[in-house]
């Protein structure tokens, strides 16, 4: 990996390239890397995408830069419409079948995932926050997209401890079609043949090192390539316009390094006053104008 | 007959053993001031029903007031795992009823429609059904397709923090709408805490999200969501959330709670 | 690639035999200009799906373009019965699929949720079930109560008249919301006629009711709901509705239709 | 009937007296008499009622005078919130179980009703507009309220041609409780014992004349009384504030008399400009201010 860009820049670029113009794209809880990628897509090749989000409960076509404390600036201040959560779950998601990037705590070779518990469910080694709506949407999304910010054998497992997201059954009908794409901090993958398959290695990463960090034998594309680096324009947009505080990189950190970085960003936002921007649409402000 | 009462009086509407539904989500527009009062009064044996559990939910869990949680996500988002939920759910000290977005959304809609279930897509093929033996399947009489019959959900008491309300409890919600309207309509008792209370609906400046006819009590609570956000009045208090995470990290939940209860 | 086309082009999106859902209700915000164009092009064998049928629906029926109606009310409200519906439904010249508010509302919600039915209260004990042999019952697996399984409804094409829309079809609906959002989300093709078209969502001045992503075509049609109302731009044309009633009363539907098609 | 008030004034007063303060009350399609009565209740003893309506798809606590061409002034211009119709049907009505006055085309002694067809369903003598939501709500409303502006044997029938609204089964459980109240242009009724029972005769009307216009034997309350006349204040409110154009009386008319009256009202509204009033809430107007 060269010093020109971070792995989160690269992953954001990869995710952005999976977004087509006109898509409806969805962001789950605590996924700033995905948000940076969607904004990047919008500002490059996919001007007409519509965003929907777990945070904000809103549909948006306008955007604002990423923020930690003021995350609602994007989702509420710029909303085409705010929805109730049941409207989103019972109506909009099954109807629009949007493109969504899921971040699994565990994933098996077939795209089944776990975000509920590590170890025995009733006495877990690690209780996870829960699967949100992954157990719902993966039963009807036609295509699944994943990202893994910290590739390791804890995440890529032969057998899940708990299946809270539906991939494909090995050899089942439509197996090849449903799993579509996965990007980690080491490479990009498809599900050709219904199984996770390495398609590109990130610059400086070998397929052997990826296999070593993967808990099952990896299929490898015959024309294995290197992941294209983000372009200069993509980097400029990410750093100067879309996410100047580099909030997207938080997902690649853990433990004390993560807390330190969060404190740094929170203080930056406080001092620059960016945590609650202006420019909100008038009807959200009406009650405060009097 | 005004519905406006104090936080202390309002907390009495929650009884030990209640299914308590909290409005907002995770770190956004949570009824934190109300939860502080519940923690003071130590109302326990609660079942927490939430779209997503976050900061104040973790305080209730850590203080031992929660017997059971029903939610599809319990954590602090970018700030990491919810420390006390993670510990107690891991040690068996807390019952978790595994929910998803659909079990909550369709479950509330079933109650709203006055029926025992709503059919929907979701769960089939996952292990959620294995740990939710109470959830039944139903066959669509037209397509013969097997669907999940999401069972009706009804809170005993719902608590929602809003930006502005009138004296009757008609209220506007800015920011995430979450499941607030739905818990407000289905709960047997409904408490509204508000940044600001105005005299009449005409002073609300926009369409209501919550209908006063279903609101039991209204409490004035400026800053009542802090350190969670109350869009657009104040942002998320990221440093305060970090302080909580780090206090738990150094095994000082008790000290944090004492400081939290001392503040107002 | 603009979605903005002419009325004439838009009417081509309706094909003979289609299930055509019309927005608004009875005499309020109906897509009258669009229907005038359909009448000119004489697109027939239609199934009309509406919350309530009114003025323009009666013209379609009277002109012989409707084979079947699915609605829970077809009339002219205070102005009395819808003359041509009343006549043709009475003489067997029109198939009526007896709907109620619940068959329509739950039926659309079933389609939105991607399932074949939604259970709800209603119909049990009435004769509606006798004339709707296609409607099945379902037993709630929890309460064992028998419920009606409202079957999923999906229009082929939906047409909604709105006050303001952007070029992509994001639109605001003032006045009755009716089932417009629901037919717009479920229809295979969706035509929007608008009093006014603006460039971007920011120019709409408020939250959208209809999502452009689901809109096939946008047509500028100022006055496009007349003589029905378009709140708050113009009220119901009561005298025009009376004229229609009295024309039919003196057996002059054909003359009325000719005059109506000649106007613009 | 004295010349001091019309029968629609009297019926509006009767309906208003059935409304309790704090009620949520619902109005069906084309029922101005009921709307006049609700407004009368609101302006007298029931200040805190909430209105919901089929027209407007809205919940309201504020009010405007009745209008023919500008009916949306009440329901939309003054709305607490506009709802989608499915929200009303699938959520608000079953949850709030509001008080609603139904107008049947046919009603039997047990409160079962017909608004679908007269004669054989498949070849009706008269096809009616349809039952709206009556076949839904009458299955779960705990209490039923009715009004009949033109009392006659065509409406009060021993046996319905089609049952599109659910009353009670004779002698069934809760029979006495479900049917609560009916007012016609001749008298007021309850369902004591599960059957329609005459409770008061309107001034100048005899029980015999009511029986003669009723297609089944009427039970009569032992303490049969005269319906109290509307008060002077009620009449003042109806005539001067709530419904100065007397739109409420349209429901008591039919045929050419009705058309003539409708034309008169429409012309009056056009000339006085009352068909689209000002005073609408600002957010409904936002798009027109620019």
Q: Which chain B residue lies closest to D50 (C-alpha atoms)? A: B213
Beta-bridge partners for C139: C146
Task: Evaluate whether B203 touches B166 at the Cβ level (below 8 Å).
Answer: yes
Band of residue B205 on the pLDDT scale cut at 50, 70, 90: confident
**Of A232, A221, A226, A222, the residue nearest A198 (C-alpha):** A221
Cβ neighbours of C134 (radius 10 Å) = 7
Phi/psi region, residue B205 (left: phi>0; alpha: psi -120 to 50; beta: rest), is left
- Taking the C-alpha atoms of residue D51 and residue D63, their distance in angstroms, rounded to an integer, is 9
Let me know if residue A254 belongs to a domain: yes
Q: What is the DSSP letter of D186?
A: S
Band of residue A283 on the pLDDT scale cut at 50, 70, 90: very low
pLDDT for residue C198: 95
pLDDT in tens, B225-244: 999 999 989 999 999 999 99
pLDDT at D287 over 50: no
- C186 touches A at CB < 8 Å: yes
Residues of D in contact with B114 (CB under 8 A): 94-95, 140
- D165 or A170, higher pLDDT: D165
Band of residue B114 on the pLDDT scale cut at 50, 70, 90: very high
pLDDT for residue D3: 56
- Taking the C-alpha atoms of residue C173 and residue C196, their distance in angstroms, rounded to an integer, is 12
- B170 touches D at CB < 8 Å: yes
Band of residue D176 on the pLDDT scale cut at 50, 70, 90: low
Q: Do B115 and C140 touch (CB under 8 A)?
A: yes
pLDDT at D170 over 80: no
Beta-bridge partners for C171: C165, C210
Q: Do D290 and C205 touch (CB under 8 A)?
A: yes
- D84 touches B at CB < 8 Å: no
Main-chain dihedrals φ then ψ at residue D30, nearest 5 degrees: 60, 50
Q: Do C113 and A80 touch (CB under 8 A)?
A: no
pLDDT at B99 over 60: yes
**Domain architecture of chain C: domains with CATH:** 7-99+154-258 (3.40.1080.10), 119-151 (no CATH)
Helix, strand, coil percentages for chain B (3-state, nearest 5):
35, 25, 40
Residues of D in contact with A282 (CB under 8 A): 286
pLDDT at D173 over 60: no
Q: Is the dihedral of CA D71, D77, D80, D85 positive or negative?
A: positive
Q: Which chain C residue lies closest to A60 (C-alpha atoms)? A: C201
Task: Evaluate whether A38 touches A13 at the Cβ level (below 8 Å).
Answer: no
Q: What is the DSSP letter of D270?
A: H
- Taking the C-alpha atoms of residue C191 and residue D187, their distance in angstroms, rounded to an integer, is 50
CATH of the domain at A284: 3.40.1080.10
**Residue C32: half-sphere exposure toward Cβ, Cα within 13 Å:** 30
Rounded to a whole number, what is the distance in Å from the CA of C121 to chain D's nearest CA? 6
* Helix axes B55-62 and B238-249, enclosed angle (nearest 10): 30
Task: Evaluate whether C149 touches C160 at the Cβ level (below 8 Å).
Answer: no
pLDDT for residue A193: 81
- Taking the C-alpha atoms of residue A266 and residue A260, their distance in angstroms, rounded to an integer, is 10
pLDDT in tens, D236-273: 999 999 999 999 999 999 999 999 999 999 999 988 76
Residues of C in contact with B117 (CB under 8 A): 119, 140-142
CA distances from A76 to A62, A99, B29, D8, D284 (A): 11, 20, 13, 50, 20
Q: Which chain D residue lies closest to B188 (C-alpha atoms)? A: D95
Q: Do B127 and A131 touch (CB under 8 A)?
A: no
pLDDT at A16 over 50: yes
- Taking the C-alpha atoms of residue D116 and residue D164, their distance in angstroms, rounded to an integer, is 7
- The mean pLDDT of A182-201, rounded to a whole number, is 95
Q: Do A84 and B178 touch (CB under 8 A)?
A: yes
Q: Do B238 and A56 touch (CB under 8 A)?
A: no
Let me know if residue D1 belongs to a domain: no
Task: Evaluate whether D181 touches D102 at the Cβ level (below 8 Å).
Answer: no
pLDDT for residue D178: 80
Burial A228-263 (b: 16+ CB within 10 A, else e): ebbeeebbebbeeebbebbbbbbbbbeeeebbebbe
Question: What's chain D's average pLDDT?
Answer: 90
Could you tell me the residue range of the domain that residue A98 belongs to?
7-288
Let me know if residue A76 belongs to a domain: yes
pLDDT for residue A287: 41
pLDDT for residue D272: 78
Residues of B in contact with D81 (CB under 8 A): 207-209, 211
Q: Do A282 and D283 touch (CB under 8 A)?
A: no
Shortest CB distance from D283 goes to which of B111, B168, B206?
B206
By the 10 Å C-beta count (0-12 exposed, 13-18 middle, 19+ buried), D253 is classed as middle
Q: Do D135 and C126 touch (CB under 8 A)?
A: yes
- D269 touches C at CB < 8 Å: yes
Q: What is the ipTM of this complex?
A: 0.96
Helix (H) or strand (E) holding B57: helix B55-62
pLDDT at D172 over 70: no
Main-chain dihedrals φ then ψ at residue C33, nearest 5 degrees: -60, -40
Q: Do B238 and A165 touch (CB under 8 A)?
A: no
Rounded to a whole number, what is the distance in Å from the CA of D142 to chain A's nearest CA? 28
Rounded to a whole number, what is the distance in Å from the CA of B1 to chain A's nearest CA? 26
Sequence-ordered strand ranges (E) for chain A: 24-27, 50-53, 58-60, 79-82, 99-102, 106-107, 113-114, 117-119, 124-127, 144-148, 179-184, 187-190, 197-201, 219-226
pLDDT at A282 over 50: no
- D287 touches A at CB < 8 Å: no
User: Which chains sit next to C, with 3 or more Cβ pairs under 8 A?
Assistant: A, B, D
- Taking the C-alpha atoms of residue D66 and residue D30, their distance in angstroms, rounded to an integer, is 12
pLDDT for residue D177: 61
Which one of C125, C163, C184 would you mutate to disrupt binding with D, by most D Cβ within 10 Å of its Cβ? C125
- The mean pLDDT of A214-222, rounded to a whole number, is 97
Radius of gyration of chain C (CA): 18
Helix (H) or strand (E) holding B38: helix B32-41
Rounded to a whole number, what is the distance in Å from the CA of B37 to chain A's nearest CA? 25
Radius of gyration of chain B (CA): 18
- Taking the C-alpha atoms of residue D114 and residue D105, their distance in angstroms, rounded to an integer, is 6
Shortest CB distance from B112 goes to which of D61, D81, D95?
D95
- Taking the C-alpha atoms of residue B207 and residue D80, their distance in angstroms, rounded to an integer, is 6
Which one of B49, B50, B73 would you mutate to disrupt binding with A, by most A Cβ within 10 Å of its Cβ? B73
User: Which chains sit next to A, with 3 or more Cβ pairs under 8 A?
Assistant: B, C, D
Residues of C in contact with B119 (CB under 8 A): 113, 115, 117-119
- Split into its structural domains, chain D has a count of 1
Q: Do B72 and A132 touch (CB under 8 A)?
A: yes
CA B99, B102, B105 angle in degrees (round to 5)? 100
Helices (H), ranges, chain D: 7-17, 32-43, 72-75, 85-87, 93-96, 134-137, 175-178, 207-212, 232-236, 255-272, 282-285
pLDDT for residue B263: 77
pLDDT in tens, A222-261: 999 999 999 999 999 999 999 999 999 999 999 999 999 9
pLDDT in tens, A98-150: 999 999 999 999 999 999 999 999 999 999 999 999 999 999 999 999 999 99
- D62 touches B at CB < 8 Å: yes
Task: Evaluate whether D239 touches D26 at the Cβ level (below 8 Å).
Answer: no
Task: Evaluate whether D180 touches D136 at the Cβ level (below 8 Å).
Answer: no
Let me know if residue D235 belongs to a domain: yes
Q: Do B116 and C140 touch (CB under 8 A)?
A: yes
Task: Evaluate whether D197 touches D191 at the Cβ level (below 8 Å).
Answer: yes
What contacts D244, CB < 8 A, 6 or more positions away?
A: D65
**Of A203, A117, A97, A111, the residue nearest A148 (C-alpha):** A111
Let me know if residue A55 belongs to a domain: yes
Residue numbers in chain C where pLDDT is lower than 50: none
pLDDT for residue C255: 97
pLDDT in tens, D103-135: 999 999 999 999 999 999 999 999 999 999 999
Band of residue A273 on the pLDDT scale cut at 50, 70, 90: low
- Taking the C-alpha atoms of residue A103 and residue A93, their distance in angstroms, rounded to an integer, is 18
- D24 touches B at CB < 8 Å: yes
pLDDT in tens, B42-63: 999 999 999 999 999 999 999 9
Question: What's chain B's average pLDDT?
Answer: 96
CA distances from D260 to C179, C251, C261, D263 (A): 33, 19, 27, 5
pLDDT at D280 over 50: no
Let me know if residue D2 belongs to a domain: no
- The mean pLDDT of D280-284, rounded to a whole number, is 40
Rounded to a whole number, what is the distance in Å from the CA of A41 to chain B's nearest CA? 23
Residues of A in contact with B208 (CB under 8 A): none
Q: Do D266 and C123 touch (CB under 8 A)?
A: no
Tell me which residues of chain B, numbers 132 to 161, contact chain A at a CB-CB cutoff of 8 Å: none
Tell me which residues of chain D, numbers 223 to 282, contact chain A at a CB-CB cutoff of 8 Å: 282
Q: Which chain B residue lies closest to C102 (C-alpha atoms)? A: B113
Q: Do B142 and C149 touch (CB under 8 A)?
A: yes
CA distances from D180 to D98, D190, D192, D196 (A): 14, 6, 8, 9
- Taking the C-alpha atoms of residue D174 and residue D188, their distance in angstroms, rounded to an integer, is 21
- A122 touches C at CB < 8 Å: no
- C211 touches A at CB < 8 Å: yes
Burial B99-129 (b: 16+ CB within 10 A, else e): bbbbbbbbbbbbbbbbbbbbbbbbbbbbbbb
pLDDT at A74 over 90: no
Task: Evaluate whether B117 touches B110 at the Cβ level (below 8 Å).
Answer: yes
- The answer to which of B37-51, B77-91, D275-289 has the lowest mean pLDDT is D275-289
pLDDT at B100 over 90: yes
How many percent of chain B have pLDDT more than 90?
95
Let me know if residue A72 belongs to a domain: yes
Rounded to a whole number, what is the distance in Å from the CA of A282 to chain D's nearest CA? 10
Block residue for tokens 């731009």: C233
Let me know if residue D282 belongs to a domain: yes
- The mean pLDDT of D44-71, rounded to a whole number, is 90
């Amino acid at each position: 990996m060269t010093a020109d860009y971070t792995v989160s820049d690269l992953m954001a670029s990869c995710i952005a390239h999976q977004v087509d113009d006109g898509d409806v794209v969805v962001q789950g809880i605590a996924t700033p890397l995905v948000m940076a990628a969607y904004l990047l897509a919008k500002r490059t090749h996919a001007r007409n995408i519509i965003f929907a989000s777990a945070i904000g409960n809103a549909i948006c076509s306008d955007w604002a830069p990423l923020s930690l404390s003021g995350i609602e600036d994007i989702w509420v201040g710029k909303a085409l419409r705010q929805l109730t959560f049941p409207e989103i779950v019972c109506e909009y998601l099954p109807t629009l079948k949007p493109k969504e990037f899921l971040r699994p705590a565990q994933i098996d070779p077939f795209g089944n995932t776990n975000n509920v518990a590590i170890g025995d469910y009733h006495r877990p080694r690690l209780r996870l926050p829960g699967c949100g709506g992954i157990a719902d949407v993966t039963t009807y999304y036609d295509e699944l997209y994943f990202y893994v910010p910290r590739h390791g054998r804890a995440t890529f497992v032969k057998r899940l401890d708990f299946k809270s997201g539906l991939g494909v059954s090995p050899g089942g009908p439509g197996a090849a079609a449903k799993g579509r794409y996965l990007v980690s901090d080491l490479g990009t993958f498809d599900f050709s043949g219904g199984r996770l398959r390495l398609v590109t290695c990130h610059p400086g990463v070998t397929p052997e090192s990826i296999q070593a960090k993967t808990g099952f034998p990896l299929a490898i594309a015959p024309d294995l390539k290197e992941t294209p680096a983000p372009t200069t324009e993509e980097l400029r947009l990410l750093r100067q316009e879309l996410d100047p505080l580099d909030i997207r990189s938080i997902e690649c950190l853990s433990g004390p390094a993560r807390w330190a970085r969060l404190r740094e960003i929170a203080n930056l936002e406080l001092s620059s006053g960016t945590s609650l921007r202006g420019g909100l649409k008038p009807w959200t402000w009406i009650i405060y104008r009097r | 007959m005004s519905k406006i009462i104090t936080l202390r009086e309002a907390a009495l509407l929650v009884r030990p053993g209640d299914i308590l539904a909290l409005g907002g989500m995770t770190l956004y527009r949570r009824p934190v001031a109300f939860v502080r009062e519940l923690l003071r009064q130590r109302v326990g044996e609660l079942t927490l029903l939430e779209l997503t559990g976050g900061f104040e939910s973790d305080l209730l869990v850590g203080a031992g007031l929660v017997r059971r949680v029903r939610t599809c996500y319990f954590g602090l988002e970018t700030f990491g795992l919810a420390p006390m939920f993670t510990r107690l759910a891991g040690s068996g000290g807390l019952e978790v009823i595994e929910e998803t977005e659909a079990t909550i959304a369709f479950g509330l809609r079933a109650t709203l429609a006055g029926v025992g279930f709503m059919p929907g897509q979701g769960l089939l093929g996952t292990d959620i059904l294995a740990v939710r033996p109470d959830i039944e399947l139903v066959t669509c009489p037209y397509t013969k397709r097997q669907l999940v019959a999401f069972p009706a959900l009804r809170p005993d008491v719902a608590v929602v923090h809003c930006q502005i309300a009138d004296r009757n409890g008609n209220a506007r919600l800015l920011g995430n709408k979450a499941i607030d309207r739905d818990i407000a309509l289905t709960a047997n008792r409904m408490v509204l805490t508000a940044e600001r209370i105005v005299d009449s609906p005409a002073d609300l400046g926009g369409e209501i999200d919550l209908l006063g006819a279903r609101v039991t009590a209204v409490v004035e609570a400026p800053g009542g969501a802090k350190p969670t956000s109350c869009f657009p009045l104040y942002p998320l208090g990221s440093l305060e959330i970090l302080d909580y995470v780090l206090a738990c990290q150094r095994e000082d939940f008790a000290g944090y709670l004492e400081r939290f209860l001392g503040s107002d």
